[in-house]
């Protein structure tokens, strides 16, 4: 059944991507963002596939590192995310997801048969990985390497080569999956190439700091959350009121199914209880009706 509902912003966990060339500062920027999101280094985990680069910034704080060594399959990334979630990490940095795509391209190249139809063996795996990222109960920051090239730029009257990023090493259209995509250049300056929060789009280049993460956190916390809806369910007094709440927040169906069902049973039981309507017989008792009704 299709139902219209009034739009409402719900509280969310940010799913963000940082893309740039090698040396642009993706890992460092991701850590600063993460700290701004939770204000606690011990609640940050970085899934490291960049040859130990995560440990280069240990002076920042006691964040957690999970190294993938040389196993970069989507299934390994999914398992790593689950380990971080199980440890209660509030922010998960995946540095980087480009290795996952490289692994799948290598796997695809080694398959026998038709190259086009062989993508049927690859696409579900990368989709499963991205769904794990998007459905995580933690904030997730993904870094992506960019293919790079050199262009000639004029500086002090001379033409010098400058490294620039071209395209992220990842599946085409991957930026559609994220709420924010930050592009970082070789001067460590950042610009938002995609921003569904409207916090950074159209703004001049800036340097990422923990304050950037705090701004994003404020946006994430602005809206309806699970506990707010759970409170509405508990306070509902009729089946009609409960049904209205159910249709108002369809995106929360999965998380709140048991709450809705339990409250429905309580309201149904209350509705089915027999009621006793006692009316004193004023004709029989006359002026003593009140006294008789109390006896």
Segment 160-173, tens digit of pLDDT: 665 554 578 788 88
User: What pLDDT is recorded for position 207?
Assistant: 95
CA dist list (Å): 43 to 93, 215, 222, 234, 288? 11, 18, 21, 32, 73
CA neighbours closer than 13 Å in the CB half-sphere of residue 141:
29
- pLDDT value at 63 more than 70: yes
d(CA 12, CA 34) in angstroms, rounded, equals 15
| The pLDDT of residue 30 is above 70 | yes
* Highest-scoring range by mean pLDDT, 19-28, 154-163, 240-249: 19-28
Question: In this structure, are residues 186 and 163 in contact, taking their beta carbons and an 8 Å threshold?
Answer: yes
Q: Between the ranges 110-114, 223-227, 243-247, where is the mean pLDDT highest?
A: 110-114
What letter does residue 70 receive in the DSSP assignment? T
Indicate the range of 76-85, 106-115, 227-236, 281-290 predicted with least confidence. Answer: 281-290
Q: What are phi and psi of 183, to 5 degrees?
A: -100, 125
Scanning the chain, the segments in alpha helix (DSSP H) are 26-38, 74-86, 98-109, 115-118, 123-134, 210-221, 226-235, 239-248, 253-272, 282-285, 289-294
Where are the domains positioned within the chain? Answer: 15-221, 224-295
Mean pLDDT in residue range 115-136? 93
| pLDDT over 70 (residue 47) | yes
Whether the pLDDT of residue 157 is over 70: the answer is: no
Average pLDDT of the chain? 85
Query: In sequence order, which residues have a C-beta less than 8 Å from that of residue 84 and are 6 or more positions away?
Result: 45, 47, 64, 66, 92, 138
Q: Class assignment of domain 15-221?
A: alpha beta
What is the mean pLDDT of the segment spanning 14-39? 94
Contact 213, 226 (CB under 8 A): no
Q: If you ran DSSP here, which 8-state letter would residue 114 be given?
A: -
What proportion of the chain, given as a percentage, has pLDDT over 70?
Answer: 84
Token reading at 264: 């429905």
Q: Is 202 left (phi over 0), alpha (psi -120 to 50) or beta?
A: left
Q: pLDDT value at position 152?
A: 57
pTM: 0.74
Res. 291 pLDDT band, cuts 50 70 90: very low
């Amino acid at each position: 059944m299709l139902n219209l509902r009034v739009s409402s912003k719900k509280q969310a966990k940010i799913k963000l991507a940082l893309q740039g060339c090698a040396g642009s500062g993706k890992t460092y920027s991701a850590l600063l963002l993460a700290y701004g999101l939770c204000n606690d280094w011990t609640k940050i985990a970085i899934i490291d596939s960049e040859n130990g680069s995560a440990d280069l910034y240990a002076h920042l704080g006691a964040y957690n590192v999970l190294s993938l060594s040389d196993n970069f399959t989507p299934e390994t990334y999914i398992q790593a995310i689950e380990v971080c979630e199980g440890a209660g990490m509030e922010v998960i940095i995946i540095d980087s997801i480009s290795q996952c795509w490289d692994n799948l391209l290598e796997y695809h190249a080694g398959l026998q048969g038709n190259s086009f139809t062989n993508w049927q063996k690859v696409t579900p795996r990368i989709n499963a990985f991205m769904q794990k990222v998007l459905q995580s109960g933690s904030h997730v920051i993904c870094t992506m390497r960019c293919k790079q090239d050199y262009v000639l730029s004029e500086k002090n009257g001379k033409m010098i080569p400058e490294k620039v990023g071209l395209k992220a090493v990842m599946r085409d259209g991957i930026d559609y999956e994220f709420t924010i995509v930050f592009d970082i250049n070789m001067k460590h300056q950042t610009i938002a190439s995609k921003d569904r929060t409207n916090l950074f789009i159209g703004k001049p280049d800036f340097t990422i700091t923990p304050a950037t993460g705090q701004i994003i956190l404020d946006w994430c916390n602005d809206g309806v959350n699970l506990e707010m809806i759970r409170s509405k369910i508990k306070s509902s007094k009729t089946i009609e009121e409960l049904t209205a709440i159910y249709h108002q927040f369809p995106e929360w169906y999965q998380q709140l199914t048991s709450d809705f069902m339990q409250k429905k049973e309580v309201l149904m039981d209350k509705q089915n209880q027999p009621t006793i309507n006692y009316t004193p017989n004023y004709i029989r008792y006359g002026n003593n009706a009140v006294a008789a009704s109390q006896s």
